[in-house]
Structure 1
Amino acid sequence: MRVVAAMSGGVDSAVAAARMVDAGHEVVGVHLALSQNAATLRESARGCCTVEDAGDARRVADMLGVPFYVWDMAARFKADIIDDFVAEYAAGRTPNPCLRCNEKIKFAALLDKALALGFDAVATGHYAQIVEARDGRRELHRAVDMAKDQSYVLGVLEAHQLARSFFPLGDTTKPQIREEARARGFFVASKPDSHDICFIADGNTRQWLTDRLGEQPGAIVDTSGAVVGEHAGAYAYTVGQRRGLGLAKDTLDGVPRYVVEVEAPTNTVVIGTRDLLGVNAITGSHARWCGAAPEGVVSVGAQIRAHGEEVPATAWADGDVVHVRLDERARGVAPGQSVVLYDGTRVVGSATISEVSLDRTAG
């Protein structure tokens, strides 16, 4: 097969590309330039897409003896990921840009361009596994290394994309990948992993949003509507947040308070006690199925965060809408997040959370 290996400049994508070469594929390395003003050097392990990263990817490609190109997708990344991220927070929701990037960039823009150029598939360094079912369909499964499993952020992939995707690292642990990189002589073997939101290099999401949306002073209220404090912008808060509320201790009666709702239309942050965070009913939109959509009510595992625990649940689809009933309450579930559904290790699909509530009749 002719395969585009997405090479970020890190150790995972380097080994993934090497394994595709070892498997006998005709590999071309591609680095995605996602920043319109790429830094020369990486400031920390948080950032990505620096000139340094592109150089690291190129050197690995040279060692593998494969062609290497840089594809400029900065404009699309800004429109589909960064602008969407700002708009979601401005609307009082909590987005997951990694899922959107996989959906819109790595397995839409990248894969589409690769296919248009005559390639057969794309390979990435994600920790996940593709398993071929008895009927020949390709299924997305969790990685062997659960500490690094990235199947959650791949839950937006549909069957036609899985048919053209390779994840060569899914059967290996991260320590083994670093050891393999050292054995291959890759200088990126000890390079730190990037983490958090790649386009917010210092990790200060609140300040980053403030720089783009400006200060928008408003009220922090309790569930009775009484004003207990002020904020500089409701967009900087998310459901389940406890730190950074800036409230005087004497207003809390010694009981911890959490954000229980962000009301974007009135620029209001509502706080309450921990018990008010528990929900078990989730409605999701923008359903994406990794195979056929489930028929009727099915038993699944539901995961709400990239590194969160899987919760037993039931789910059913109604067109583009997914309804999920958790067997136990989950806290800090916010509109804008994604719920990814599993059947054992197999990813069934995902949806963007639009509503959450406590259904006292469930269970």
Structure 2
Amino acid sequence: MTDFPTEPPRQRLRVLAAMSGGVDSAVAAARAAEAGHDVTGVHLALSANPQSFRTGARGCCTLEDSRDARRAADVIGIPFYVWDLADRFREDVVDDFVAEYAAGRTPNPCLRCNEKIKFAALLDKALALGFDAVCTGHYAAVRTAPDGSRELHRSGDAAKDQSYVLGVLDQQQLAHAMFPLGDTAATKDEIRAEAERRGLTVARKPDSHDICFIADGDTQGFLAQRLGTREGDIVDESGAVVGTHTGAYGFTVGQRKGLRLGVPADDGKPRYVLDISPVDNTVTVGPAEALDVTALTAIRPRWCGTPPAGPAAYTAQLRAHGEEAPATAELLDGTLHVSLGRPMRGIAPGQAVVLYDGTRVVGSATIAATDRDRERRRDRPAPAGAGRTA
């Protein structure tokens, strides 16, 4: 497979371009076609009832998005189809999202969508139909190593880099992945300008920021509809009740706003969510410094290449738009143990830790516990799948 977009392809490939209806995927499809590949566009219908999603939603589940994708395909001059993956999306992404929150964890639905939908369900179907690769508008780079293996690297535009949410891709998936935007240092403004030059009407369409399947952006309301309400206590580190809530699932570790505490802190400083216990429906709050994490364990690791052998030095990214921290990581009996070179805050079970060697993505795993979690609440139930590898 060739790298994009600087050289003509060494061979002409059959490429399935996933077109969300946004500017990035449209330009990616256009670049793949311009490079000489046989490109077919496909829009994934991920909602069983797309009319329920708001018009103008900055997601990828609306009828508007489907129509925008079709118009872009017409301008590019490629065939276009809509594939219904709503049932698979509901099971693998939406239901997983709800179950993780119910268990007191904080999932990343975009990461799960890339793993289960775009590079599992979609790629499997594409290969079965004779396509050679799936093309998306992600800002990341796939490069060929000297030994012929495929490597995932950060995008040339650090501000738009999306390699974190692609860290779940394995070697087989990378061998059939194409990211035409990732090997360039073009900024988002330059991509929009390119879209205008190509006559793509999505050139000025807003970026997607919301969780695409939550119509009004109200995550807590979405979860309440599915999990119901259940009153519980908000306590401080001593166990004293300082407030109440209607569902522990409505909080995330590191949260400061919306706590509505009835008892002020002794020192007058803000308090943050430190822990969420679904067992007794209790939320624990405390000072910012109590959020510091220096080590963590993670389960279900997925490697972009060969798994690391023995402890090794990397950098670790713990949130989609978070900073990197120096780290030492070691894989023991299927569980990843990571020691951070400096304290990091707002790290919650359910989030992903992605390891990097320079710009190269080494792999990803789901955070199961941090040192702070083990010290503060030893009765937390083990995450489903603990100790298993992908």
User: Which residue does 2:298 correspond to in 1?
Assistant: 284
The corresponding residue for 2:334 is 320
Q: For 1:201-280, what aligned pairs fall within 5 Å after superposition?
A: 201-248=215-262, 250=264, 253-280=267-294
- Residue matched to 2:48: 36
**Alignment-derived partner of residue 178 in structure 2:** 166
Q: Determine if contact 2:110/2:165 at 8 Å carries over to the other structure.
A: yes
**Partner of residue 130 from structure 2, selected from 118, 131, 150:** 118
Q: Which residue of 1 aligns with 2:4?
A: none
Aligned mates of 1:174, 1:250 — CA distance in 2: 44
Deviation digits for residues 234-261 of structure 1, max 9, x if unmatched? 0111111111111135355412111110
Taking the aligned partners of 2:250 and 2:54, their CA distance within structure 1 comes to 26
Matching residue of 2:382: none
| Residue identity in the other structure for 1:92 | G
Cα deviation 1:176-233 (Å, max 9, x = unaligned): 1101100001111111111131111322111111111111100111111111111100
For 2:175 and 2:66, the matched residues in 1 are separated by 28
Q: Distance in 1 between matches of 2:299 and 2:262?
A: 38
Q: Which residue of 103, 108, 111 maps to 1:91? A: 103
Separation in 2, partners of 1:23, 1:241: 46
1:318 to partner: Cα distance: 2.0
C-alpha distance in structure 2 between counterparts of 1:196 and 1:20, whole Å: 27
Assess if the C-alpha contact under 8 Å between 1:9 and 1:55 holds in 2: yes
Higher deviation after alignment, 83-92 or 197-206: 197-206
CA separation in 1, counterparts of 2:56 and 2:371?
A: 39
After the TM superposition, which residues 1-363 of structure 1 pair with which residues of structure 2 at under 5 Å, given as runs? 1-39=13-51, 42-170=54-182, 171=184, 172-248=186-262, 250=264, 253-358=267-372
Identity, in percent, stands at 65
CA distance in 1, matches of 2:54, 2:200: 19
CA distance in 2, matches of 1:107, 1:318: 27
Q: Tell me the amino acid that sits aligned with residue 256 of structure 2.
A: R
Helix, strand or coil for the counterpart of 1:63? helix
Structure-2 separation of matches of 1:115 and 1:74: 20
Q: Is the 8 A contact 1:45 1:192 kept in 2?
A: no
Counterpart-to-counterpart distance in 2, 1:177 and 1:100 = 26
Aligned equivalents of 2:102, 2:264: Cα separation in 1: 30
Other structure's SS at 1:98 match: helix
Write the distance in 1 (CA, Å) between the matches of 2:245 and 2:54: 32
Contact 1:46–1:202 at 8 Å: present in 2 too?
no
Contact 2:17 2:135 in 1 (8 A): yes
> Contact 1:42–1:48 (CA<8 Å) still a contact in 2?
no
Q: Return the letter of the residue paired with 1:248.
A: G
For residues 290 and 196 of structure 1, the distance between their equivalents in structure 2, rounded to whole angstroms, comes to 27
Q: Secondary structure at the match of 2:314?
A: strand
Q: CA deviation at 1:48?
A: 2.3
| Structure 1 residue 137: Cα displacement | 1.1
- Partner SS state of residue 74, structure 2: helix
Letter in 2 for 1:58: R
CA-to-partner distance for each residue in 1:272-291, whole Å, 9 max, x for gaps? 11111101111000100000
SS at match of 2:365: strand
CA separation in 2, counterparts of 1:110 and 1:257? 43
Q: d(CA) in 2 for partners of 1:45 and 1:100?
A: 20
Give SS of 1:250's match: coil
Stretch of structure 1 that moved more, 151-160 or 38-47: 38-47
- Code of the aligned partner of 2:89: F
Structure 1 pair 44–99 and aligned structure 2 pair: CA distance change class (3 A): same
Aligned residue for 2:310, secondary structure, equals coil
Structure 1 Cα separation of the partners of residues 284 and 242 of structure 2: 10
CA distance in 2 between partners of 1:234 and 1:43 (Å): 31
Q: Deviations over 1:320-349 (max 9, x none)?
A: 311110000111100000000000000000
Structure 1: gaps (5+ residues): none
Q: Distance in 2 between matches of 1:97 and 1:358?
A: 25
Q: What TM-score do the two structures reach when normalised by structure 1?
A: 0.96
Structure 2: tracts of 5 or more residues without a match? 1-12, 374-390
1:135 shift after superposition: 1.2
Coordinate RMSD, CA, aligned: 1.4
Q: Deviations over 1:138-182 (max 9, x none)?
A: 110000111110000000000000000000001132111101100
Q: Are the equivalent residues in 2 in contact too, given 1:40–1:52 (CA < 8 A)?
A: no
